[in-house]
């Protein structure tokens, strides 16, 4: 299925399949499996069973399912699986507004819509590019490990900003934020890389959050409390900023 074109007219083939396990997680699962085997060999069953459950959970945490990304230049897709917990008008991150001396584009201080997506330990943690374009900046900032669901996590927690420039010059930024349990942000990209919309760009280990800073004049197409899927859920559409309402049921 990877690379296959599917559409809304029924063309293409779709079937359920077991998700693959990202290489970043295989080493953790291997350690858990070896410990479980050693403990089981020593007949310490009360410890072996929890270790077996831990190994299965690690495999599930690092699952990397295939996603079907809508192909439309106007669309911005979700970079993360999870729950939309905040939608606010805020200035972009200050680290992306300063001149870093590289000559790379930077954002100005005009407030934009920020959509915050909280990822629990049960969500897929592979993050994907919201749009296609070139990575212009990748800025890592060490920090605290507060609950990622808190608003101040955007300023206080360990985080990594990624700024993408589309082919038409439109800038979009998103931030990977480490949470209460997360302890490492793992990037798959670097400045200068060309990305396709929905391409894998990194992961955050063990629970976290992603903030998306939409381009100017662009409003959220998702609602507070809505669950989104990385690479698939349409987060916003360029040039559209109307009010949308939903009902919790």
The set of catalytic residues is: 208
- Round to whole Å and give the CA distance between 132 and 32: 37
Task: Please choose, from the candidates 110, 175, 109, the residue with its C-alpha nearest in 3D space to the C-alpha of residue 137.
Answer: 175
Q: Which residues pair with 63 in a beta bridge?
A: 21
Element (H or E) spanning 26, and its range? helix 23-41
Q: Would you mind telling me the total number of residues written for the chain in this entry?
A: 249
Q: Which residues pair with 141 in a beta bridge?
A: 159
**What's the burial of 135, exposed, middle or buried (CB within 10 Å: 0-12/13-18/19+)?**
buried
- Round to whole Å and give the CA distance between 13 and 1: 8
Token pair of 196, please?
């396709």
Using CA atoms, how far residue 194 sits from 4, 9, 201, 215, in Å, is 20, 30, 11, 19
Inter-residue contact 137 to 169 (CB < 8 Å): no
- Round to whole Å and give the CA distance between 84 and 226: 5
């Amino acid at each position: 299925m990877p690379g296959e074109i599917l559409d809304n007219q029924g063309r293409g083939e779709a079937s359920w399949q077991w998700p693959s396990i990202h290489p970043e997680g295989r080493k953790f699962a291997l350690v858990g499996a070896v410990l479980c085997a050693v403990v089981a060999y020593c007949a310490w069953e009360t410890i072996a069973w929890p270790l077996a459950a831990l190994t299965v959970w690690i495999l599930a945490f690092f699952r990397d399912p295939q996603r079907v990304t809508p192909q439309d230049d106007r669309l911005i897709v979700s970079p993360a699986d999870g729950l939309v917990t905040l939608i606010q008008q805020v200035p972009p991150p200050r680290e992306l507004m300063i001149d870093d001396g590289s000559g790379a584009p930077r954002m100005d201080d005009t407030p934009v819509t920020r959509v915050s997506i909280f990822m629990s330990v049960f969500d897929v943690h592979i993050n994907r590019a919201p749009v296609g374009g070139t990575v212009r900046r990748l800025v890592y900032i060490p920090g605290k490990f507060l609950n990622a669901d808190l608003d101040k996590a955007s300023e206080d927690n360990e985080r990594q900003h990624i700024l993408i420039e589309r082919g038409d010059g439109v800038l979009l930024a998103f931030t990977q934020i480490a949470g209460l349990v997360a302890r490492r942000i793992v990037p798959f990209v670097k400045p200068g890389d060309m990305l396709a919309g929905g391409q894998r760009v990194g992961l955050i280990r063990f629970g976290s959050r992603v903030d998306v800073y939409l381009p100017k004049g662009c409003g959220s197409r998702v609602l507070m409390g809505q669950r989104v899927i990385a690479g698939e859920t349409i987060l916003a559409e360029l040039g559209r900023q109307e009010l949308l309402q939903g009902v919790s049921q």
